[in-house]
Every structure is written in structure tokens, then in C-alpha cells.
Amino acid sequence: MKEFTEEELAQYDGKNGNLAYVSYKGKVYNVTGSFLWKEGTHQVFHRAGVDLTDALEQAPHGGEVLDKFPVVGILQDIHMPDMPSKP
Amino acid sequence: MARVAREMVEKAGINVNQLVELLVKNAAAELTTYYYYTILRCNLIGLEGEGVKEIAEAARIEDRNHFEALVPRIYELGGKLPEDMKIFHDISACPPAKLPKDPTDIKAMLIVLVEAERCAVRGYTHICNMTAGKDHRTYDLSQAILNEEIEHESWFSEFLGEGPSGHFMRRGETSPFVSKFLR
Ligand code: HEM
Ligand SMILES: [Fe+2]
Ligand SMILES: [Fe+2]
């Protein structure tokens, strides 16, 4: 499975025909087809191409909304699911 | 625009442009839901469908009321609706509540309906969280809408038999919570 650096992930910002990828708890998801991620923007505040593990804590839904989107890789180093998250 | 009203919200630490954008997206969700629910209602026929029709209609009318109630707040805060309705449709905060492939499948219809309401419950909860103690009028409005969205969710959830019911269909006027913003 492909490993993304943060710089690589940043290219998938959903803008100008780019694919829209977001990472959550170490996994990188392709949310390109979603009605709610058009142009890589979600509900005004969130952008594709970055790790949204912390942002999702504040969302009015859990990580299960990502289940229906394909996992396209893992994010290097940070937020691996088996590592304790930041204190 | 209500200049001082906007200033007060800014002063409380809210990014008013972002808030307005969110209100416009939710207004779009309401008007598009009103439209898609019209199609759903027309297809709610037969022994099972007719039973759901009445609450689908109440939810449809109340969503239109939510649109009507949001618009003045958007303009007060210095925002506006997009000129192009196609754009308005596409920026909706919730996905289109489209007719299921088999419209005679009433369970599939109820799932479309309950998911649309759940999206709304999430959206207004977030707006309430953002504005609580800061933007009193937007909070009051979104909380009134939230009260009705939660009832909509319950109606459809109860039809799906997800759990026992504490509700009965609307009696009397529609929009018991939002009506004060419509007068
Ligand atoms: C301000 C924070 C957020 C708000 C207000 C918000 C709101 C929403 C709402 C209302 C929905 C629709 C849910 C439904 O249909 O019931 C949704 C779906 C979704 N959200 Fe968020 N969300 C936020 C943050 C996030 C974050 C940080 C992520 C990060 C991954 C995320 C990912 C998703 C995904 C993948 C979906 C499903 C999209 C689809 O089904 O096409 N959200 N969000
Ligand atoms: Fe509504
Ligand atoms: Fe509703």
C-alpha cells in the first residue's frame, strides 16, 4: 500500500481537477466522488490534502462516514492507528 | 444588512464570512430537500406509501419554512444567495435526497428520508455549537430549526421501526418552533 508523506498528500487537494484525499488515523481515503467534498472543500471549514484526525473530533459525526470511501494508502509516521494519539 | 448586528458577531470571535457561507449551504439543503421531497411524496403510494405520505409532507413544508427563516439572517449578516440556482443546488450542505431506484420500496424511501434528516440534525447541531453564547440570533434560529429536524428524524426512524416511539404526527400548525421567525 502506498505511503504518503504530508507533502505528497497535499497535492490531492481536490482543486482544479485534482483528486481529493484526506487522511484519518493513519489511513488515506479518496473522497473525490463525494457530493460533500466538491473542489476538496467540506462544510466550509475543511480542506482535502491534509490529515483530519484531530479535526474530526469536532465534527458532528464520527470516522464511520469514511467507511464507504476507498483507502488509497497510509500516511507516513503520524497518527498510526496502533500508536497512542497525542496526549 | 444589519451593520451593528454583524459587528457584534464578529466581536464575539466568529468568522462571519464563514458562518454566512455555512448558512447559505444549509439554506440550499432546505430548498433542495423541499424539491426532492416533493418527488418522494408523489411516489409515496399504495398501502404502505400512503401511511408515510402525511409526515413526509409535514417534513417537506417545514424544510421550506427553514429555507424561508434562514434567508433574512443571511442578508442581515451581509451575505446573499447565489444568482445561479444551479450553483445553489450544488453547494448544499446535504446530498440530494433522490428517489430510490425502486420507488415502490417504501423502506428504501424511508432510508432516504431519515438520512436527509440526520444530515440536517448534524448540520444544525454544529451551527448551534459554533454560535452558542456568541451569535444569539443565529443560535436561536438554528436551535429552533434543530428542534424540528430532530422530530423529522424521529418520525422516519419510528416508521422504520428502529425503536419505540415518543411521537405522534404534527397536530395543528406546522413549524411550532420556527414559526416565530416566519411571522
Ligand atoms: C466542522 C466540522 C464538520 C461538519 C460540520 C461536518 C458535517 C458533515 C455532515 C452534515 C455530513 C453529512 C452526514 C449525513 O449525511 O448524515 C458529513 C459527511 C461527511 N463528512 Fe463531515 N463534517 C465536519 C468535519 C469533517 C471532517 C474533519 C472530516 C474528515 C475526514 C469529514 C468527513 C466527512 C465525510 C467523508 C462525509 C461523508 C460524505 C459522503 O457521504 O459523501 N467531516 N459531514
Ligand atoms: Fe429543514
Ligand atoms: Fe427536515
pLDDT in tens, B121-162: 999 999 999 999 999 999 999 999 999 999 999 999 999 999
**Contact between chains at A44 and B18 (C-beta distance less than 8 A):** yes
B22/A36 Cβ within 8 A: no
The residue nearest atom 41 of ligand 1, judged by CA position, is A34
Q: Which of B160, B155, B70, B83 is nearest to B117 (CA)?
A: B155
CATH superfamily of A2-75: Cytochrome b5-like heme/steroid binding domain (3.10.120.10)
Q: Hey, where are the domains in chain A?
A: 2-75
Which residue has cell 446530498?
B95
Give start and end residues of each alpha helix (H) in A1-87: 6-10, 53-57
Nearest-by-Cβ selection for B25 from A44, A59, A60: A44
Reply yes or no on whether the pLDDT at A85 is more than 60: no
Domain ranges (residues) in chain B: 3-181
Does CATH number 3.40.50.2300 belong to domain B3-181?
no
User: Using a CB-CB distance cutoff of 8 angstroms, which residues of chain B are in contact with residue A43?
Assistant: 22, 25, 93, 123, 126
What pLDDT band is residue B166 in, cutting at 50, 70 and 90?
confident
Q: What cell was used for B158?
A: 419510528
B126 contacts in chain A (CB < 8 Å)? 43, 59-60
Of B6, B15, B57, the closest CA to residue B34 belongs to B57
Cell output for B31: 430548498
Do the Cβ atoms of B27 and B142 come closer than 8 Å? no
Query: Which ligand 1 atom is nearest residue A66's CA?
Result: 35
Residues in chain A: 87
The predicted structure's pLDDT at residue A1: 87
A42 Cα–ligand 1 center, Å = 7
Q: Which residues pair with A51 in a beta bridge?
A: A23
The answer on pLDDT for A87 being more than 80 is no
CB B142 within 8 Å of CB B124 = yes
- B96 interaction partners in chain A (CB closer than 8 Å): 35
Indicate the angle between helix axes B106-131 and B46-76, nearest 10 degrees.
Answer: 20
ipTM computed for the complex:
0.93
Q: pTM of this prediction? A: 0.94
Among B142, B166, B169, residue whose Cα is nearest residue B22? B142
